[in-house]
Chain A
Amino acid sequence: MQIYLPIAELPVNMMLLLGMGMAVGFISGMFGVGGGFLLTPLLIFVGVPPAVAVATQGPQIAASSMTGSLMYWRRKALDIKLGIVLLIGGIIGTFLGVLFFNQMRRIGQLDTFIAISYVILLGTVGTLILIESVMSFVRSGKGSTPRARRAGRHHWYEGLPLKMRFHRSGLYISVIPILVIAIFIGFAGAVLGIGGGFILVPALIYIFRVPANVVVGTSLFQILFTMLVATMLHASTNYSVDIFLALMLIVGAVFGAQFGARVGANLRGDIFRLLLALMILAVAGRFTVDIFATPVEPFSATMTDTFR
């Protein structure tokens, strides 16, 4: 059954969109990530213009993080104060990202830029998680305990000015490094159509040592609001958010996420991270081919102005 997308201006199979939303929702529910880094490439592959694919990620990710945030909110596994600091950085980053996105689109390097960013970002994060999960395999074999938070030992960046206390996370650190990370994630989110959960979760755990039980909830809370802002900015500056596409993806993803969450809950922590790393690296690999392999068709043609 075909549905015509009014903004993307092309017909797409409705079942395909629902199915894609569901598959990505499953993975996002399983790993607590937004899934944008999987869905954007999939949409581009189906023929949705990159600009529309990226801009329409916003509402899809917002909807699934809304569900997740509410769930963690009820369990009180959400640090609102930390979330708000992350959000401030996220909004600044998103604003910069949308400006940059529109500029890249104008000079015709958007596709290349998206591909390179995916390779760098996914490649780095994937490799880091992979190394960490393999190390923890090795460690668990030796029977030693993973590093624990020790009182009185801090990284240099935690002691910067503007210190703030985050009760629920048990932190007393400078907000500057938190803002920097949040700005970066907001920027990447707006430019690449990703929520940034797969960067934020490891960052909160490894860089700021936020307790694992509040990390996912807080990250979802931040992603929810960042994506709402991103949707508004995309809608008001490049008019590329497709409401039908968003609706199909949300409906699929919302259901997929529930099943994913159930499967994810039964996975062992290190296996969970290993799988996540492999999946991220697979997507990075796909984009690496795009940039490094000799293209089958070196030409591309884009219509710039139409007279209707």
Chain B
Amino acid sequence: MRARGAITGAALLLAAIAAAVSAATPASAQTPPPAASTGAANGANSGQPPAQKLVTTLSPSKILIQSNFAGQALTVFGAIEDNDRSANYDAVVTIKGPRGAVTVRRKQRWGPFWFNLDNRKYIGIPAYIAVLSNRDVREIASAAVREDLHIGINALIPQQVARRGANDPEFRAALQRLRREQELFQEDPEGVTFVSPRVFQASINLPGRVPLGKYEVEVAVFTDGALEARRNLTFEVSKTDLEQAIATSAREYPIGYGLVIIFMALLLGWIASVIFRRD
């Protein structure tokens, strides 16, 4: 499994490099100065860096959960198209799972008991976050830039819903801590490796209990603490036919599903009584 991943990884890496080179060559052959200048102009006037400076691929682009699913390796490749050979690049790859509302509860003493007495609600929280970078994100960009661009776990957690209670940073911190312990949130400052000064690779093992749904991958490249280019990719984690069929039938035909389970229980119980019959 791991070996196969490495082989496909290497193949894709080559593909990414080839793509980067072939994309760069015709552009420079036809009109070299405008291609370079357009990129620079876009980056300067809008604050929205040109995506075409960055080529990215993702492998695999769809993750199917089968009955033996126990996690899956995911690899992102990126190639930066740039004529400026002197620039030093940093890359941050952010993987975000489907968003949902999360209620954080705190147990408090109530007489001799400990009960969930206090809670805060957060909406739009990704069910999974992985922030991979070639070095600590705090070294890559300033706190303000990271906050603005949603780089790092903390910047990805919106403030609580102002439904009840004061804004309590403890709850926000607890949410991050709990999800990190479950390995659903993670930051890896060594998750991105530059295989050449312009080509990088990010690898991550999605855990077995990874939430189902649509995932976003954001690849951001920085130079000297400023955003240089950004690309978004998506992939989906879904159940395979059998798993999906079971989950769907449980929801859509609950009576039939219940009857099948009841029949299974009675049948197995009866079989056991026949097998182990002693009289």
Contacts and interface: CB of A to CB of B under 8 A. Distances in A.
A244 interface: yes
A62 B263 CA distance: 10
Interface stretch (B50-58, B95-103, B140-148): B95-103
Interface in B83-109: 98-108
A246 B261 contact: yes
Interface in A61-94: 62-67, 70-71, 74-75
Contacts of A302: 102-103, 105
A66 B70 contact: no
B21 interface: no
B270 to A, nearest CB: 6
Interface in B219-243: 239, 242-243
A307 B99 contact: yes
A301 B174 contact: yes
Nearest to B270: A66
A2 B69 contact: yes
Interface in A6-49: 6-7, 9-11, 47
B116 A303 contact: no
A144 interface: no
* Chain B interface category by residue count: 35 or more
Contact of B269 (A62, A234, A291, A292): A62
Given A1-B68, A63-B265, A241-B250, A108 B105 contact: yes
Interface in B188-241: 208-209, 211-214, 239
Given A6-B243, A297-B178, A298-B107, A308 B250 contact: no
Contacts of B67: 3-4, 244
A306 B123 CA distance: 10
Which DSSP category, helix, strand, loop or mixed, fits chain B's interface?
A: mixed
B35 interface: no
B22 interface: no
A59 B261 contact: yes
Contacts of A116: 113
B27 interface: no
B103 A109 contact: no
Interface stretch (B6-14, B36-44, B271-279): B271-279
Given A243-B264, A251-B268, A300 B178 contact: yes
A235 B261 contact: yes
B112 interface: yes
A234 B255 CA distance: 10
Contact of A59 (B65, B103, B211, B264): B264
B171 to A, nearest CB: 7
Contact of B265 (A62, A74, A308): A62
Contacts of B65: 4
B269 A232 contact: no
A308 B211 CA distance: 10
Q: 3 nearest interchain CB pairs?
A: A66-B269, A235-B258, A299-B174
Given A3-B67, A4-B69, A244-B246, 16 more contacts: A1-B68, A2-B68, A4-B208, A6-B239, A11-B209, A63-B272, A66-B273, A108-B116, A109-B116, A232-B259, A232-B262, A235-B258, A299-B106, A302-B102, A303-B101, A308-B98
Interface of A: 1-4, 6-7, 9-11, 47, 59-60, 62-67, 70-71, 74-75, 108-109, 111-112, 116, 228, 231-232, 234-237, 239, 241, 243-244, 246-247, 250-251, 254-255, 257-258, 290-295, 297-308
22 contacts: A4-B68, A6-B243, A6-B246, A7-B250, A11-B69, A11-B70, A11-B208, A60-B265, A63-B264, A74-B279, A254-B271, A290-B114, A299-B104, A299-B107, A299-B175, A299-B178, A300-B104, A302-B102, A303-B211, A304-B121, A307-B213, A308-B213
